[in-house]
Amino acid sequence: MTIAPQDKDLLWFLAEGTAGTVGEEFFQRLVEHTALAFRADVAFVAEIVPEDREYARFLACWEGGRLAPSMEYCLEGTPCAEVSESDLVSYPVGVRERFPADDMVIEMGLDGYLAVPLRGFDGNHLGHLGVLSKTPLYPDEEKLAALRIFAARAAAELEGRRHEARLRSLVDEQAALRRVATLVAAEAPQQEVLDAVVHEVAELLRTDTAGLLRLDGDQVTIVSGKSSDEDAPVPVGLTAHIDRFSATKDALLGGRPARSDAARLGSDERTPELRRLALQSAVAAPITVAGRVWGAIAIARTTQEPMPPTTETRLGDFAELAAQAISNAEAREQLAASRARIVQAGDQERRRIERNLHDGAQQRLVALALSLRMAQTALADDPRATDLLSQASGELQLTLEELRELARGIHPAVLSDRGLAAAVEALAGRCAVPVDLDLPQERLAEQVEATAYYLVAESLTNVAKYAQATEASVSVRREGDRLHVEVRDDGVGGADIEAGTGLRGLSDRVEALHGTLRIESPAGAGTRVAASIPLAA
C-alpha cells in the first residue's frame, strides 16, 4: 500500500509515483498520487474540449480510492470555470454552498477545492489539475509548488499528445488523399472514384454518414453514400428539391463549405428518408467542375459530439479531388461520344452513297444495257453495228460489275438487309484463302454489326494482301453483354498498326464503342486480330 507522505516529502512522492510513465498512465498515476498526497477525496486532471471551450473532460480522475471513468462536463456552475482566469483557485471550505449546480460536489458532499491551470507553451489555457475534499483544504506553499510543477508536467504531456494526434491525422489525411489521387490518375471509372472519396472521407473524418450529391437544376441526387449503421443506409439514388437539404443546400448555393445543426437536420423541410438517419450535425463542401457547381460532398454525425472547426477545410480538399476525377471522366466520356458520332456519321454517309449508286448510276446503266440490247435486235442485219453494240454491251456489263463491287466496299447492302452473318459469309466467299466461319445468326445493334463487319473485311483484305496464309478463320461470338470478334490466319505475321491506316481505323471504331482491340502478329506465327465490343453501344 502506498503511504501518504509528510509534507516535506511531497515533491519527491509525486515524482517517484509518476516516474517513467507517459501519456494515459502518467495522468492516472498523477491523480492517484496527488489524491494521496493531499489526503483528498478527489484528484483530477482535465482538458478543456478544444472544439467547445464551454466543456472540459477528465484525462484522469481519482475518486473515492479508485480511478473514475472518463467523462465530459460543462464548466459553467463549477469552480473549474474560474481556473482559466487565474493561476490558482482555492476554496478551502464551503464549495458546496457556492456551487450548488456542481453535481459531483453535491453528490459526494465535498467541501474544499484547490486547482491550478495547465498552460501550453504559448500561455494558452489547456485544462487544470485539482483536488477536492470532504474536509477543509488549506493549501500550504509546499503543496502549491508541487501542484504547479506537476501541472506544468501534465501540460507538456497533453501538448505532446495533441501534437502527435495532429500529426497522425495529417499523415492519415495525406494517405487518404493519395489513394484517391492514384485512382484519379489511373482513370478508374467515375463511380469507383466517387465511392472511394466517400469511403475515405467517412473513415478519416470519423463520421457516421458521408455522401456525394449531384446538382441538376434545382434537384439534388445522392450518387454515392456510406453509413456506419447498416440499418440506416444512405438513400443512394434519392432525388429531391434542393430546399429539402440543409448543409448541402447552403454549400451548393453559397459555393463554399457550410454547416447544419440538429434543429435544421431534423426539420420537416427535409426529406423523410434523410430525417430517418437522425443526424445531429452535418458539414458539406461544394464540388466545382469547370467553373460550375457540379454537386457537393457531405458528412454527418448522429451523435451530439460536434465536428471540429477544421472539418470544412479537410472536406474541401476531398471536394477538389472529386472535382478532378469528375472532370477527367467527363472529358473522357465526351471524347468517346464524339468519336462514336464521327464513326456513325461516316457509316451513314457510306450508306447514303451506296443507295445513291444503287438507285442512280446503277439503274441508269441497267437501262442503258436494255437499250443496247434493243438496238442490237433492231440492227441485226448490220454485222458491223452488231459487233460494235455487243462490244459496248460487254463493257457496260463490266462497268456495272465494277460499280456493284465499289458500292459493296462502301457499304454492303447485305449487311443492312440480312445482317452480319450473311455479310461475313459473302466476304469469306470472295477471300483468296479458305475461311473457316463461326457466326451468330441473331441481329445486333447497327453500330455493332457495322464495326464487326469492317473488322472482318479489313482483316481478310490484309490476309489476302500480306499474310501468304494457307487458311484463315473468322469467329463472332456473343458472351454476356459483349461481342467477341476474331480473325486469324496462319501466315507470315508482322502486322503493324503504325504501318497503315486500316488497323488504326479499326482500333478507332472499336474504341468509339468502348470496346478493346488486340492485334497479335509475331513474325512467322500468323496473325490474330480480336475485338471485344459492348453490345449496348
Ligand X SMILES: Nc1ncnc2c1ncn2[C@@H]1O[C@H](COP(=O)(O)OP(=O)(O)OP(=O)(O)O)[C@@H](O)[C@H]1O
Of ligand X, Mg ion, none, which one does residue 139 interact with (CB within 5 to 8 Å by kind)?
Answer: none
Please report the sign of the dihedral spanned by the C-alpha atoms of residue 296, residue 299, residue 304, residue 308: negative
CB of 494 to ligand X, least distance (A): 5
Of ligand X, Mg ion, none, which one does residue 494 interact with (CB within 5 to 8 Å by kind)?
Answer: ligand X
Residues belonging to the chain: 537
Between 10 and 503, name the residue whose CB sits nearer to ligand X.
503
Label residue 514 left, alpha or beta by phi (over 0 means left) and psi (-120 to 50 means alpha): left
Between 79 and 493, name the residue whose CB sits nearer to ligand X.
493
Cβ within 8 Å of residue 510, ≥6 positions away: 451, 455, 516, 517, 531, 533
Sites for Mg ion among residues 406-465 (CB under 5 A): 462
Q: CA-to-CA distance for 12 and 134, rounded, in angstroms?
A: 25
Q: CA-to-CA distance for 401 and 45, rounded, in angstroms?
A: 101
Of Mg ion, ligand X, none, which one does residue 133 interact with (CB within 5 to 8 Å by kind)?
Answer: none
Of Mg ion, ligand X, none, which one does residue 496 interact with (CB within 5 to 8 Å by kind)?
Answer: ligand X
CB of 519 to ligand X, least distance (A): 8
Of Mg ion, ligand X, none, which one does residue 417 interact with (CB within 5 to 8 Å by kind)?
Answer: none
CB of 467 to ligand X, least distance (A): 4
Does position 190 bind Mg ion by CB under 5 A?
A: no
CB of 499 to Mg ion, least distance (A): 9
Q: CA-to-CA distance for 210 and 449, rounded, in angstroms?
A: 44
CB of 296 to ligand X, least distance (A): 48
Of ligand X, Mg ion, none, which one does residue 22 interact with (CB within 5 to 8 Å by kind)?
Answer: none
Between 133 and 462, name the residue whose CB sits nearer to ligand X.
462
CB of 408 to Mg ion, least distance (A): 17
> For Mg ion, which residue has the nearest CB?
502
Q: CA-to-CA distance for 95 and 82, rounded, in angstroms?
A: 13
Q: CA-to-CA distance for 287 and 324, rounded, in angstroms?
A: 9
How are beta strands 66-67 and 89-91 bridged, if at all? unpaired
CB of 224 to ligand X, least distance (A): 42
Between 24 and 520, name the residue whose CB sits nearer to ligand X.
520
Does position 507 bind Mg ion by CB under 5 A?
A: no
Of ligand X, Mg ion, none, which one does residue 467 interact with (CB within 5 to 8 Å by kind)?
Answer: ligand X
Between 46 and 503, name the residue whose CB sits nearer to ligand X.
503
Residue 262: CB atoms within 10 Å: 15
CB of 172 to Mg ion, least distance (A): 55
Of 505, 511, 515, nearest to 535 by C-alpha is: 515
Between 379 and 431, name the residue whose CB sits nearer to Mg ion.
431
Sheet strand arrangement including 281-289: 239-241, 219-227, 209-216, 292-301, 281-289, 258-260
Does position 78 bind Mg ion by CB under 5 A?
A: no
Backbone angles phi, psi at 117, to 5 degrees: -80, 155
Of Mg ion, ligand X, none, which one does residue 501 interact with (CB within 5 to 8 Å by kind)?
Answer: ligand X
Helix (H) / strand (E) element for 295: namely: strand 292-301
Interacting residue ranges for ligand X, rule: CB under 6 A: 462-463, 466-467, 489, 491-496, 499-504, 527
CB of 425 to ligand X, least distance (A): 20
Count of residues near Mg ion by CB under 5 A = 2
Output the CA–CA distances (angstroms, integers) from residue 121 to 152, 210, 262, in the order listed. Answer: 10, 37, 36
Between 326 and 460, name the residue whose CB sits nearer to ligand X.
460
Does position 502 bind Mg ion by CB under 5 A?
A: yes
Cβ within 8 Å of residue 296, ≥6 positions away: 212, 213, 215, 248, 251, 252, 284, 285, 286, 287, 319
- What is the binding site for Mg ion (CB under 5 A)? 462, 502
